[in-house]
Structure 1
């Protein structure tokens, strides 16, 4: 006879799961790799994106996993781990992590893993967090659009929930939080075909592809030192270094994204049921966590 599990029991299981990996960056990675081992749907990538994604390997020297829609998330998570922001706060053997980065990541994991348990146990709960409901939608109808909606709703919920922690970060690190956010929102806009780049943009931003794995290996775009501070770090992340990465940052951020930031965030507020994101921009400038 089948055992019936309740939503509240699944919440408790998910909280215990998150607590178990809270101080283990590698534990977080293993948990998410296992999730996408079940729910990455890599076959869809092979069918829709062509031979370049037929198997795991390397693209321009960057490892590409075979986790389907999880490829981008796992690539970014590996960068977070290398940067040390997910490290425990009180382990003398390693530099302390970041309360903000740790909390946003763990809250993200909670929403997604809860949806996975609900999906596996055929449990529905209309009062579940919006992010969890969006993950369920992705699990039932996997696509780049449903994945971005689930992923970005979860990230935005973390941004809003942990604004106090963000305010405790170094000022240059706060600038970088805004950069990571508007690049992520722009990627969703590409998939939503809400930019001038059309189908090419949607292919480049597809979470099954290699774009995130590649860009997180570019240290001017995604530095490994934490926390960022001082004018030198600010020049690097804002693209004012006289090198190819600096040029790329200026084109992507300053020429393509920032001139349309208000409209971008208005669109994301709709796509991701997150009206509060509109307060993250003022006079066309990113201002989180103010």
Structure 2
């Protein structure tokens, strides 16, 4: 019957809506087929981070994060159902992208499917975003621009990496551990939800050096072109409503220059344990930040995050290892397969 695949996908995702671990298990089982198993790394790593933060919890979590994650799962499962039954016409764009991924799995088709669902979820749930704290809303933009940049490493290597374009497809391959550098937020956000009642600059002052380099030195100078490229390449013109004059503005309530200027980071604030702690007497180590894969300028170094990393001296700080996904759990009560439901 027409629409049955959409109904089945909605039922499966609704069944795990209030069970974060079952959500993770459902996502893992989507990638059980050998031909696509290697693509689950990036998505499951991000979901592990969401679980640790608590944003997927039914009562104390984030309605926005929960809704966007559910949209992503539902689109992927509907695409799987339609691919299996052969009823692949007259479908929404994100679902069509997932069908294309299953027809020909590749890093390129995975990004097109994943990012199409993410953009659609952002658009659909924008009102929920407006109920979040300003800092949380800022990091929604960080998450979006990072996935657009990761996609551009394959879809437009010259845009993403300039004269290092030949390395871009390798760096952006979602099957590799390195891609977690772009797709993960664990280095710049506390592992808790909701966020502390602090301004964005407070978080940026504690951002991992590598995360700050990526966001402000590599990605932000390309922001406007990244959104324009995504609009054309993915077929989502609505993504252009999320950027203005080179600054992401999806849900940010104030002047985007305030948050997206490197000057927003408190230049004199060293690393310390928290907002009420007394800052120790030590300075910051300068770090050369490449602004466009080649040119560099001297900026202040950035310290470990006080809620996720040891508050050691800023001097000699090394970037933490990239997070890798854990094994997919087998959980009692979670759907054992998405395959049998597609009839």
- TM-score bracket relative to the smaller structure: 0.7 to 0.9
Aligned-partner SS, 1:289? coil
> TM-score under structure 1 normalisation?
0.80
Partner of 2:9: 14
Partner of 1:71: 41
Using a 3 Å threshold, how does the CA distance of structure 1 residues 216 and 128 change in structure 2: closer, same or farther? Answer: closer
> TM-score under structure 2 normalisation?
0.68
Partner of 2:174: 207
Partner of 2:231: 269
* Long gaps (5+) in structure 1: 1-5, 43-66, 90-95
> How far is the alpha carbon of 1:166 from its aligned partner?
0.3
Residues 11, 114 of structure 1: 8 Å contact kept: yes
The yes-or-no answer on 1:41 pairing with 2:51 is no
Provide the rounded CA distance (Å) in 1 between the counterparts of 2:43 and 2:194: 22
State how many pairs are aligned: 248
> How far is the alpha carbon of 1:224 from its aligned partner?
1.2
Aligned-partner SS, 2:58? coil
> How far is the alpha carbon of 1:263 from its aligned partner?
0.7
Provide the rounded CA distance (Å) in 1 between the counterparts of 2:183 and 2:235: 27
Partner of 1:53: none
Partner of 2:27: 32
Residues 166, 174 of structure 1: 8 Å contact kept: yes
Residues 154, 172 of structure 2: 8 Å contact kept: yes
The yes-or-no answer on 1:144 pairing with 2:107 is yes
> How far is the alpha carbon of 1:111 from its aligned partner?
0.7
> How far is the alpha carbon of 1:114 from its aligned partner?
0.2
Map 1:147-158 to 2 at 5 A: 147-158=110-121
Greater relative CO, 1 or 2 (CA 8 Å, sep 6+)? 2
Using a 3 Å threshold, how does the CA distance of structure 1 residues 168 and 82 change in structure 2: closer, same or farther? Answer: same
Partner of 2:92: 129
Greater CA radius of gyration, 1 or 2?
Answer: 2
Using a 3 Å threshold, how does the CA distance of structure 1 residues 222 and 201 change in structure 2: closer, same or farther? Answer: farther
Provide the rounded CA distance (Å) in 2 between the counterparts of 1:288 and 1:264: 14
Partner of 2:216: 254
